């Protein structure tokens, strides 16, 4: 934010004069300064939404080309450039995108620049989208692993025609590392969400080869959850099948417990019944229920099982839980907040 000593008298007046009705014409000649100020930027953004063609052109001419790169990377200025992409003419959008050519990688990796690149992808013509793809293609993995650049790659998958995303072949052989990466897992999910089957089927094959590993991974578990919730029936069933006979064990893991909850929610009725039987038919009786109740992660899976179970299985679950609660109450050391939330859930079903 600018220090008051560095502000022009006009900007200082704008910030302090609350009675004057300000219009875009009042700040002409000072557009760049206003764009770099928190309050001035917000004012210009609002006015651009309803500005005349002539007003938009005057704002544009003050910014392009001399000040465009400065504002793209500015904490407040980037929003003004985004508004120009949204509300400018097609010619203005084309020129704005042209100013970024040769610098798309650097801008994509910059905190504010990446937002402008994403907005550009949303607003420009397909040929210019393709130009951005070509510029980033040699640096795709670098962008994916970048905290800002990964958002640009996700936006390309969302908005650019799949046939122009020629870099997808680079994912082959790298699916497990991508799925296990804090940003790579997000990019992979967008690929599964937006790209046609012919492009993602080799990636899905690689995912099936390491399903259990990814379920237990800090970031890979999100990809597995995505496949269970949004995947094609065959792929969903294949992922869920890896949990059969392992539900209680996997429920105790910090990350795969999330996948177990998702599987209970989205499995078909027969598979869900099998999973819940793994819990209630364990020997000795209620062993699995007791184990899950006391576990920091499995207790959430148990609660999900209660919610999604058919009435007969729910009754058995609740009976076993109540039996274990009675035992655990005698040992206050073993009583914790997990059990309190389970008790609340039982009260909910007792009132039905």
Containing domain of residue 292, as a range?
A: 246-352
Res. 332: pLDDT tops 60? no
Domain closes at, from 215, 242, 269: 242
Q: Does the residue 29 lie in any domain?
A: no
Q: Does the residue 279 lie in any domain?
A: yes
Q: Are both 228 and 196 inside the same structural domain?
A: yes
Helix ranges (H only) for 101-219 are 104-108, 113-123, 126-136, 140-144, 149-159, 175-179, 184-194, 197-208, 211-215
Q: Are both 251 and 349 inside the same structural domain?
A: yes
Domain closes at, from 227, 242, 257: 242
Q: Does the residue 227 lie in any domain?
A: yes
Please tell me the least confidently modeled range out of 12-26, 54-68, 263-277, 337-351.
337-351
Q: Does the residue 339 lie in any domain?
A: yes
Cβ contact 77:36 at 8 Å: yes
Q: Does the residue 263 lie in any domain?
A: yes
Angle 9-16/38-48 helices, nearest 10 degrees?
A: 80
Read off the pLDDT band of 1 (50, 70, 90).
very low
pLDDT tens per residue, range 229-246 = 999 999 999 999 999 999
pLDDT tens per residue, range 257-271 = 999 999 999 999 999
User: What's the rounded Cα separation, in Å, for the pair 272 and 266?
Assistant: 8
Q: Are both 270 and 230 inside the same structural domain?
A: no
User: What's the rounded Cα separation, in Å, for the pair 181 and 188?
Assistant: 10
Q: Are both 273 and 287 inside the same structural domain?
A: yes
Q: Does the residue 120 lie in any domain?
A: no
Cβ contact 301:264 at 8 Å: yes
DSSP single-letter state for residue 75:
T
Domain closes at, from 189, 212, 242: 242
Sign of CA dihedral 56, 62, 64, 67: negative
Q: Are both 275 and 315 inside the same structural domain?
A: yes
Q: Are both 203 and 298 inside the same structural domain?
A: no
User: What's the rounded Cα separation, in Å, for the pair 172 and 107?
Assistant: 27
Number of C-beta neighbours around residue 214 at 10 A: 27
User: What's the rounded Cα separation, in Å, for the pair 300 and 66?
Assistant: 56
Res. 334: pLDDT tops 70? no
Cβ contact 63:80 at 8 Å: yes
Q: Are both 258 and 334 inside the same structural domain?
A: yes
pLDDT tens per residue, range 174-223 = 999 999 999 999 999 999 999 999 999 999 999 999 999 999 999 999 99
Q: Are both 261 and 333 inside the same structural domain?
A: yes
Q: Are both 297 and 321 inside the same structural domain?
A: yes
Q: Does the residue 292 lie in any domain?
A: yes
Residues 6+ apart with CB under 8 A from 326: none
Q: Are both 232 and 269 inside the same structural domain?
A: no
Residue where the block lists tokens 């995505």 = 226
pTM of the model: 0.92
Q: Are both 238 and 288 inside the same structural domain?
A: no
State how many domains the chain has: 2
Q: Does the residue 324 lie in any domain?
A: yes
Q: Are both 251 and 208 inside the same structural domain?
A: no
């Amino acid at each position: 934010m600018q220090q008051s000593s560095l502000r022009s008298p006009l900007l200082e007046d704008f910030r302090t004069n609350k009675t004057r009705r300000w219009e875009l014409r009042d700040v002409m000649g000072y557009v760049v300064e206003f764009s770099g100020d928190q309050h001035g930027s917000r004012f210009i953004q609002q006015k651009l939404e309803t500005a005349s063609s002539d007003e938009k052109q005057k704002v544009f001419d003050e910014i392009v080309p001399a000040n465009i790169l400065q504002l793209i990377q500015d904490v407040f200025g980037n929003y003004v450039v985004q508004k120009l992409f949204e509300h400018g003419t097609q010619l203005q959008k084309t020129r704005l995108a042209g100013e970024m050519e040769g610098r798309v990688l650097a801008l994509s990796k910059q905190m504010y620049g990446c937002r402008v690149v994403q907005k550009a992808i949303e607003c420009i013509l397909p040929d210019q989208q393709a130009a951005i793809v070509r510029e980033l293609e040699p640096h795709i993995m670098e962008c994916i692993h970048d905290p800002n650049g990964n958002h640009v790659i996700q936006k390309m998958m969302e908005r650019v025609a799949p046939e122009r995303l020629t870099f997808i072949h680079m994912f082959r052989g790298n699916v497990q590392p991508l799925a296990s990466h804090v940003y790579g897992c997000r990019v992979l999910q967008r690929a599964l969400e937006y790209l046609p089957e012919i492009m993602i089927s080799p990636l899905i094959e690689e995912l099936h080869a390491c399903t259990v590993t990814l379920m237990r991974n800090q970031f890979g578990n999100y990809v597995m959850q995505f496949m269970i919730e949004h995947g094609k029936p065959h792929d969903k069933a294949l992922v869920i099948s890896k949990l059969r006979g392992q539900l209680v064990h996997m429920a105790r893991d910090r990350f795969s417990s999330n996948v177990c909850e998702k599987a209970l929610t989205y499995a078909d009725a027969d598979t869900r019944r099998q999973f819940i039987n793994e819990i209630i038919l364990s020997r000795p009786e209620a062993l699995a229920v007791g184990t899950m109740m006391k576990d920091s992660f499995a207790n959430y899976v148990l609660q999900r099982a209660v919610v999604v179970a058919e009435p007969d299985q729910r009754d058995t679950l609740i009976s076993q839980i109540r039996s274990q609660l009675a035992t655990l109450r005698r040992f206050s050391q073993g009583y914790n907040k997990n059990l309190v939330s389970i008790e609340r859930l039982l009260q909910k079903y007792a009132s039905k």
